Amino acid sequence: MRKYIFLLFTMVLFVSACHSNVENTKLSSKAKDALIYCKARKMNTNYCFLIDMSIHSGKNRFFVWNFQKQKVEFEGLVCHGAGGGSTGTKPVFSDVENSGCTSLGKYKIGIRSYSKYGINIHYKLHGLDSTNSNAFKRIIVLHSFDPVPAVQIYPAHLYMGMSLGCPVVSNSMMRKLDALLKKERKPVLLWIYN
C-alpha cells in the first residue's frame, strides 16, 4: 500500500512540476514579445505586467516582469470579469460595453486617479488592440478591492462579482504596483492573454 501511495505522490509532483515549467516557458515567451513591443513603441523597458487568464483564478496569474533581470519581480491573484456567463474557472472575454467581461490584449497603463475601491487608487487603462479598444470608454481600470485575498486560494477560485471587466487585485498587491508605477516615467504595458 505504501508503495502505491508513494507512486501516486511522485506522479502528482511530476505533473505539477511539468505544468509549472509550461507556465514559466509561456511567461518567458510573452515577456520577450512584450519587450519587442515596448521598444518599438517607446514604452517602458524596465517592467511589464502580464496576466495569464488560462491559469486558475485561485492561483497567482498577475506577474510583474522585470525586463532587466528577466524574471518575475512579484506576482498575485487577479479577478476576471463576471459577465457573459463567466465562471470562477472559465472567463468569457468581450470588449462590448456593459458586458462585464475581461478583454484580452495589450493595454497602456495611464494616469493614476482616485478609486472608491480598495486602497482608493486606480490606473486608467488604454486598450491597444482591436480586442480591447473600448477599454477607456468602458472605464476599465487597474484597481484593488478589499475582499481579494493576498495569497493563493487554489483549489478554490476567486468569488465572482468582484470585477466587471477590470483587472482587480488585492490591496497589498496594489500597494506594490502603485509604488512601482509612481517611479516609472514611460508608460508600462499590461498584457492580458489566455
Every domain of the chain and the residues it spans: 2-193
* pLDDT higher than threshold 70 for residue 11: no
Rg of the chain taking only CA atoms, in angstroms = 17
CA terminus-to-terminus distance, the chain: 41
Residue 143's pLDDT band, with cuts at 50, 70 and 90, is very high
pLDDT digits over 168-183, tens only? 999 999 999 999 999 9
pLDDT digits over 37-54, tens only? 999 999 999 999 999 999
Residue 27 C-alpha cell reads as 511567461
Residue 21's pLDDT band, with cuts at 50, 70 and 90, is low
Mean pLDDT along residues 58-77 = 98
Q: State residue 22's pLDDT score.
A: 56
pLDDT digits over 78-127, tens only? 999 999 999 998 999 999 999 999 999 999 999 999 999 999 999 999 99
Q: Mean of the per-residue pLDDT values for the chain?
A: 91
* pLDDT higher than threshold 60 for residue 4: no
Give the closest residue to 43 by CA, choosing from 33, 52, 34: 34
pLDDT digits over 151-166, tens only? 999 999 999 999 999 9
Residue 113 C-alpha cell reads as 486617479
* pLDDT higher than threshold 60 for residue 20: no
Q: State residue 152's pLDDT score.
A: 98
Which overall architecture, per CATH, does domain 2-193 show? Beta Barrel (2.40)
Residue 25's pLDDT band, with cuts at 50, 70 and 90, is confident
Q: Which amino acid is residue 120, in one-letter code? A: N
Using left for φ > 0, alpha for ψ between -120 and 50, and beta otherwise, residue 105 falls in left
